[in-house]
Chains A and B, each alone.
Chain A
Amino acid sequence: MAYRYTLELLAGIAIVAFCAMFLYTSATMSGAEFAGSDNVGSGLIAELSGRPADNFQPLIAQWEPPSGEIESCLFALQAAFGGILIGGVFGFWFGQARGRRAE
């Protein structure tokens, strides 16, 4: 019973430590732009291949979100879809468990 909330405590500590790490990194690391590692990786590809990054053209034509705002909207939609799935199922299971306890 003493260890009942160990995982909750660990998750809380991990999240706080993660936030502290970000604040420390952004305050102390010069040139930290926090760009996506995908973009940094693409930069290294350009460097290794000796071709400028702009030179890499899609092999299959691709639609791109017209602005950063639209892109974040679509990312939020993706997360929302996952959230609805998780919330819906946990709610359903919670109702089932309560029903079982009531019987």
Chain B
Amino acid sequence: MHIMEGFLPWQWCLIWWIIALPCLMLGIYQLKKVLDADREALPLLGVTGGFIFILSSLKLPSVTGSCSHPTGTGLSTISFGPWITAVVCAIVLLFQSLFLAHGGLSVLGANIVSMGIVGPLVGYGVYRLLRDTSVNMYVTVFLVTALADMFTYVTTSLELALAYPAETGGFVTSFILFMGIFAVTQVPLAIVEGIVLALVFKYIVALKPDILIRLKVFSEEKINAARSEC
């Protein structure tokens, strides 16, 4: 999902930075608030952030004959919401821009918007929709993770289609072409990521249910019921 340095006109770089910056500031504010209220949230932040570090470094092959990487943002989205997730993603993307030439400083805003903001926001919407229903907790984690991953790539396609509309067919044609490269490649990766992170969530429930209850990630009844099955 990385848009490479120099591949986005400066006007678009500026627009995505302007969108990303307030979200990051809100994320930093929320992060401080959460950690001030409960220092035990820090290890959970470490775990959820750790998965963003690991999964976004794994380039995996896919059905389209090209490689892509998962985003790992689902657990952080569920535990801390989209804005704190944006901050963690910004750190990972900055590392990749500075040391790996993946992405770049001018396009960092655009990459933060896709991986750190829109993907997690969609995931968070699904989470809020399903959290208090009878839908199984692990199914919710799976859906949030898979959709946050998929919509990261849909957003990258959108960002590129806006900047490079096709000569014939304009934005729509361009969007379909970019979706063919980014989103289709991502489908199997998003499914596997969803299942694996649902499994990781099961282990968090088994080992540290109290922090999930205090952060109101799911209701106490749901977490205790899931824990008794572990």
Contact = CB atoms under 8 A, between A and B. Distances in A.
Interface of A: 1, 3-4, 7-8, 10-11, 14-15, 18, 21-22, 25-26, 29, 31-38, 40-42, 44-45, 48-49, 56-60, 62-65, 71, 74-76, 78-79, 81-86, 88-90, 92-94, 96-97
B96 A78 contact: yes
Nearest to B92: A78
B54 A82 contact: yes
Interface string B173-197: 0100110011001101001100110
A44 B62 CA distance: 18
Given A7-B202, A31-B65, A38 B101 contact: no
A3 B67 CA distance: 34
A44 B181 contact: yes
Contacts, number: 179
Contacts of B101: 62-65, 71
Interface residues of B, number: 73
B218 interface: no
Contact of A34 (B44, B61, B177): B61
Given A56-B4, A78-B53, A86-B47, A35 B67 contact: yes
B47 A37 contact: no
15 contacts: A7-B202, A10-B195, A18-B192, A34-B61, A37-B1, A57-B6, A60-B5, A60-B104, A74-B100, A75-B57, A82-B51, A82-B52, A82-B57, A89-B43, A97-B207
Interface in B1-23: 1-7, 10, 13
B196 A11 contact: yes
B59 interface: yes
Contacts of A92: 43
Contact of A48 (B98, B174, B199): B174
Interface class of chain B by DSSP = helix
Nearest to A95: B207
Contacts of A57: 6
B63 interface: yes
Contacts of B97: 62
Given A11-B196, A44-B181, A78-B96, A62 B104 contact: yes
B50 A83 contact: yes
B160 A37 contact: no
A3 B202 CA distance: 13
B202 to A, nearest CB: 5
Contacts of A40: 66, 181
Contact of A38 (B62, B102, B198, B230): B102
B61 to A, nearest CB: 5
B57 A79 contact: yes
Contacts of B61: 22, 25-26, 34
Given A4-B229, A25-B65, A49-B164, A36 B207 contact: no
A93 B207 contact: yes
A56 to B, nearest CB: 4
Given A79-B58, A90-B207, A93-B208, A32 B1 contact: no
A31 B64 CA distance: 10
